[in-house]
Amino acid sequence: MAARISKFRAAAYAYRFTKDVEALLPSHYKKHCEEFMTRDPTPVHWRPEPGKFKLHLKTGEKIPVQNVPIPLKFPAECNEGLWGGEGIVFGYRKKKPRKPRTVKAWMPYIMNRVLYSEILDKYMAIRVTPRTMDLIDEAFGFDHYILKTHEVDLNSHLGMKLKREMLLALVRKTMYPENADKQEQIYEKYKEYIIPEEEAEWIGLPLGEAVARAKAEHAARNPIRPLKEIFTQQLIDDLKEGKYEDKYEEESWLQKLNPFTTKPNEEKKPEEEKKS
């Protein structure tokens, strides 16, 4: 895939596949992959300066603004929780006289919380950060936070899996099957997030699962028939059309190989020469 993550940005996962695999994947899935790889996430550990130029604090000279984000690291554990865009920041401790600088890692504060989804109608124990809880409050609910937050800001396989399940439940109307009034209420509350089912099925699929699904669908549309089956069917069709009737009336291949047999047309030739 041509799109790639900038060297100034890290992510919990990435989308990279060959041209052969890219030809099998649907266009809407590839569009989501490209957006995730190229879009900048919301700044969390730094504040970008507005404008294109600023004045130097000491000289008063006009200099260009350079918004370079702080490098972050995202371990595999962040895919099992919701970190709200926070990551691990690496730096150096304050140098002491006559001592070398030492590396320090600032870890986000992770806590266990039980969150409830209205659409899925279930409670889930998820490892989150305080910023995630603040974002859920700002979005007025856990479901709103998951559905409205872009993949580049969720940055979690768990978050995208929940988004896919919520979207499928909405478009298929499988939530609250025994309570039609509650189902309609939830549908009206979150209908602004609904997308077509064929797109919702691919939302947030990890690359391995997406490739396996694309190959399975391609194989179902283009089944491979053994050559033995093809030639057998061709022979049956030719026999039905009568293409081999004249050939079966000719002498067998055993008669052709036997040197002591004579062809039917040559048996009467010597007798006819004597009578003449």
Cα 72 from Cα 177, distance rounded (Å): 44
CB 147 within 8 A of CB 190: yes
Residue 237: what residue type?
D
Cα 116 from Cα 141, distance rounded (Å): 9
Token pair for residue 110? 């992770």
Q: Could you list the pLDDT tens digit for every one of the 276 residues in the chain?
A: 556 666 667 899 999 888 888 899 999 999 999 999 999 899 998 888 898 998 888 888 999 988 888 889 999 999 999 999 999 998 888 888 888 888 899 999 999 999 999 999 999 999 999 999 999 999 999 999 999 999 999 999 999 999 999 999 999 999 999 999 999 999 999 999 999 999 999 999 999 999 999 999 988 888 888 888 888 888 888 888 877 665 555 555 555 665 655 555 555 555 555 555
Cα 193 from Cα 270, distance rounded (Å): 97
Instruction: Report CA-CA distances (Å) from 197 to 17, 112, 148, 177.
Output: 24, 33, 17, 18
DSSP 8-class letter at 86: -
Q: CB within 8 A of 136, min separation 6: which ones?
A: 115, 142, 145
Q: CB within 8 A of 69, min separation 6: which ones?
A: 8, 9, 40, 43, 45, 46
Length of the chain: 276
Q: CB within 8 A of 270, min separation 6: which ones?
A: none
Give the predicted TM-score (pTM) of the model.
Answer: 0.78
Q: Would you say the C-alpha torsion 97, 99, 101, 103 has a positive or negative sign?
A: negative
